[in-house]
Structure 1
Amino acid sequence: MKRVFFAVWIGMCLGCTSAQINSALSEVNKVAGSQQQALTTAEVGDGLKEALIKGISNGSDLASQLDGYFKNPEIKIPFPPEVKKVEDKLRQVGLGNEVDKFVLTLNRGAEDAAKEAKPIFITAIKSMTIEDAWGILRGQPDAATQYLKRTTTAQLKEKFKPVIQNSLNKVNATKYYGDIVTQYNKIPFTDDVNPNLDDYATDRAIEGLFTMIAKEEKNIRQDPVARTTELLKKVFGAQQP
């Protein structure tokens, strides 16, 4: 019975405004009666926000651990690929250890910055509308993450960049990178390079966080055990066959 009511409700709400969704909710509740309590618009919105916050919290906690980036092949930040020739050339002339040291500190900076990411992401979630929430609930396993990525990346980059800059400085990644570039530019017959490390590290650190958040969101959608509150159980359980 629960599947029938939920299917009817979804069909009525496709493309609806918030007011129309409320009207549809009223009709479905009348039909459901005492056998099934339909979700309210507030529950859908709150449930999706709670799921996102849970995913962000778990994802950023995992990323911010020691080796959270460095030993996770899904999000490890490599030497900037647009200057791969720098890495290759330095390894050829026996400076591979310097490259490895830099990559380690680059990921340490991201791990440190991830600790500060949680409140930035959570603040961004609060602008989600009920229409957004319904689209996410009916969407792909990473629909909430993609929504957050699509609507907040520019704002997050602006706020997160000073955090990553501070973290890179704290672990000496910026210094090591400057030393590497300086040494490379001294090699005869090479073109000077000076790519922006802060922009690169910021972009890759945020991408890594989104990757971890997407995994947590998928887990909440698919695994009932991961729904640790009654609201999550109700919102996501309503979609189960």
Structure 2
Amino acid sequence: MRRICFASFLSIIVLSGCETTQQIINNLPTTTSGQPNSFQIASGLKEALTIGTQNTANRLSAPNGFFANAVLKILMPPEAQKVENTLRSVGLGNVVDKAILAMNRGAEEAAKSAAPIFINAIRQMSITDAIGILRGGDFAATNYFKQKTTSALTTAFQPVISAALKKVDATKYWADVFTVYNRFSSKPVNTDLTAYVTERAISGIFHEVGLEEQKIRRDPAARVTELLKTVFGSSLAQTR
């Protein structure tokens, strides 16, 4: 088996005047067993995750990306259902509806900042990380993103969501209503509406990233480049 050390790999890139780095990676030999080499695995996985996360961010940041999605639409939490029903019963349903719309619009606006955060995490991914994710199967990449990006997403999302909620005084109504409600409830509701919506928005992002990951892993038609076909069509990608 021909082996290419890291120094040799760098020299190939430096000396090549007509091929792109991606072409060089594509043309590196596979192993004697026909499996993709480490560089192909890392490059292919990063390519797949870049495509998947950009698709997710574009889809969720579009108008009604959250609001019209039955799975992701942000509603009042279950423990607040009684309060919501009471408000609707006394003719304040429009207040609740405005708050729900604002929550989802805030999430959609915040989703615009998700792609750069995911791309940064992808760039920092090591070859060891990539191989582990490929072999991890199912939601290994999504779990990697949860670990690496949740803090940054929270920081980026909170001010955007807060601004959206303040436009309709949603945060004021929420705090006023649930501060009183919590005095008598055995299941207190978080009076920080921004924190609640931020958590739901990030949860929605990861849900969609997970769907994109499954698409690449399980649907050959979703592997739109030769590198993706090589990496995700290999037996390594099928390991559970």
Q: Give the structure-2-normalised TM-score.
A: 0.75
Q: Return the letter of the residue paired with 2:172.
A: G
Could you report, residue by residue, the CA deviation over 1:99-155 in whole angstroms, capped at 9, with x for unpaired residues?
112101210111111122111221122222222211211123222111111333123
CA, structure 1 residues 237+183, in 2 after alignment: closer, same or farther (shift >3 Å)?
closer
1:1-241 to structure 2, matched below 5 A, reads 29=31, 31-32=32-33, 36=34, 38-169=35-166, 172-173=167-168, 175-179=169-173, 181-182=175-176, 195-239=191-235
Tell me which moved more, 148-157 or 211-220: 148-157
CA, structure 1 residues 100+212, in 2 after alignment: closer, same or farther (shift >3 Å)?
same
Q: Please list every run of 5 or more consecutive structure 2 residues that lacks an aligned counterpart in the other structure.
A: 1-5, 7-29
Q: Check the 8 A contact 2:175/2:192 in 1, yes or no.
A: no
Runs of 4+ in 1 over 3 A off after TM superposition: 80-85, 166-169, 179-187, 189-194
Q: Return the letter of the residue paired with 1:205.
A: A
Distance, in Å, in 2 between the alignment partners of 1:103 and 1:115 is 19
The Cα of 1:180 is off from its aligned counterpart by: 5.3
Q: Please list every run of 5 or more consecutive structure 1 residues that lacks an aligned counterpart in the other structure.
A: 1-18, 20-27
Distance, in Å, in 1 between the alignment partners of 2:118 and 2:50 is 8
Aligned to 1:7: none
Distance, in Å, in 1 between the alignment partners of 2:38 and 2:179 is 59
Taking every aligned residue pair, what percent have the same amino acid on both sides?
A: 46
Q: Check the 8 A contact 1:99/1:180 in 2, yes or no.
A: no
Distance, in Å, in 2 between the alignment partners of 1:230 and 1:127 is 23
The Cα of 1:165 is off from its aligned counterpart by: 2.7
Give the length in aligned residue pairs. Answer: 210
Q: Check the 8 A contact 2:111/2:157 in 1, yes or no.
A: no
